[in-house]
Chains A and B, each alone.
Chain A
């Protein structure tokens, strides 16, 4: 199955984005670090793109296999660590850039307040 691209827009009160996520062979993990299993937002991204939902708290994977990461960050660690590594970061909480790592958090790398309905297939023309 070919991978497809999705557009992920900020939700209410959110910040950043929109991001376009399209997995590639060898870089197709929808990497979920929310705790409590695969978050519905990660699930939807995986279903629409053909990527693989992956629970970062259950197993580990090399960073280069990560297509995007889904977080539920309260504002310091996860919100900054992944953008610092230039990994597309989707926060299900409506956080804005904050914390010591905030300089790494850009609209091109980060979008927040995201609900499943904020993830839409991108019509490629």
Chain B
């Protein structure tokens, strides 16, 4: 699974849970902005924890689709959704952002895996849905145009479902030249 880690992540090692051994310092992303390493800063746009996974979520996996909803979602939508704690969206989702799943520590590992996906397309109502309802539909297809107004596309493909307890993040890495 190591291929899924930060190999495709510019500025590898900025995401805290990767820990020591990477090029960066393994910092914690606490606030909205933290410096990741010299020349790069991280803009954290959204962070919430997955609390519940609906029984019909696996049916969307063969389609490469995950549906997220915030804590207010009614029961019938929870059946198809990963329900999370919700958060305030700190900036519109943009192509080039990163969707990160920080999995909880599992058996025999002190830090959970961090899987990162690059945003390749953003539908026109995706940010509004996320801001208002915690609702986001992610297509893991790497498409350059969003399939539908409410979807975003990311790459690479999803290999498995993030478990309950996973921290969902949207963030942007920005070059910063005014050191």
Q: Which residues of A contact B (CB under 8 A)?
A: 33, 35-36, 56-58, 60, 63, 73-78, 81-82, 85, 93, 95, 98-100
Q: Which of B126-140 contact A (CB under 8 A)?
A: 126, 129, 132-133, 135, 137
Tell me the dominant secondary structure on chain A's binding face: loop
Interface size class, chain B: 20 to 34
Q: Which of B60-114 contact A (CB under 8 A)?
A: 60, 63, 65, 67, 69, 72-77, 79-81
Asked whether, in the complex, the Cβ of B137 is within 8 Å of the Cβ of A74, the reply is yes
The 8 closest A-B pairs by CB, nearest first: A74-B150, A75-B148, A74-B149, A56-B74, A76-B137, A35-B132, A57-B72, A35-B133
Asked whether, in the complex, the Cβ of A36 is within 8 Å of the Cβ of B132, the reply is yes
Asked whether, in the complex, the Cβ of A100 is within 8 Å of the Cβ of B77, the reply is no
**CA gap between A100 and B57 in the complex, in Å:** 11
| CB neighbours of B129 from chain A (8 A) | 35, 74
Contact with A along B13-36 (1 / 0, CB 8 A): 000000000000000000000000
Asked whether, in the complex, the Cβ of A57 is within 8 Å of the Cβ of B60, the reply is no
- B38 near A: Cβ within 8 Å? no
Asked whether, in the complex, the Cβ of A77 is within 8 Å of the Cβ of B81, the reply is yes
- B125 near A: Cβ within 8 Å? yes
Closest to A82 in B: B76
| CB neighbours of B159 from chain A (8 A) | none
Closest to B138 in A: A76
Asked whether, in the complex, the Cβ of A76 is within 8 Å of the Cβ of B73, the reply is no
Q: Which residues of B contact A (CB under 8 A)?
A: 59-60, 63, 65, 67, 69, 72-77, 79-81, 123, 125-126, 129, 132-133, 135, 137, 147-151
Asked whether, in the complex, the Cβ of A75 is within 8 Å of the Cβ of B149, the reply is yes
CB distance from B154 to the nearest CB of A (A): 14
Asked whether, in the complex, the Cβ of B148 is within 8 Å of the Cβ of A99, the reply is yes
CB distance from B140 to the nearest CB of A (A): 13
What 17 additional pairs, Cβ within 8 angstroms, besides A57-B133, A82-B76, A93-B125?
A33-B74, A35-B129, A35-B133, A35-B135, A36-B132, A57-B73, A74-B126, A74-B149, A75-B137, A75-B149, A75-B151, A77-B80, A77-B81, A77-B135, A81-B80, A98-B148, A100-B65
Listed by A's residue number, 7 A-B pairs whose Cβ atoms lie within 8 Å are A57-B72, A75-B137, A75-B147, A75-B148, A81-B79, A93-B149, A99-B65
CB distance from A93 to the nearest CB of B (A): 7
Find the residue from A56, A57, A74, A75 having the highest chain B CB count within 10 A.
A74
CB distance from B141 to the nearest CB of A (A): 13
Asked whether, in the complex, the Cβ of A77 is within 8 Å of the Cβ of B67, the reply is yes
CB distance from B77 to the nearest CB of A (A): 6
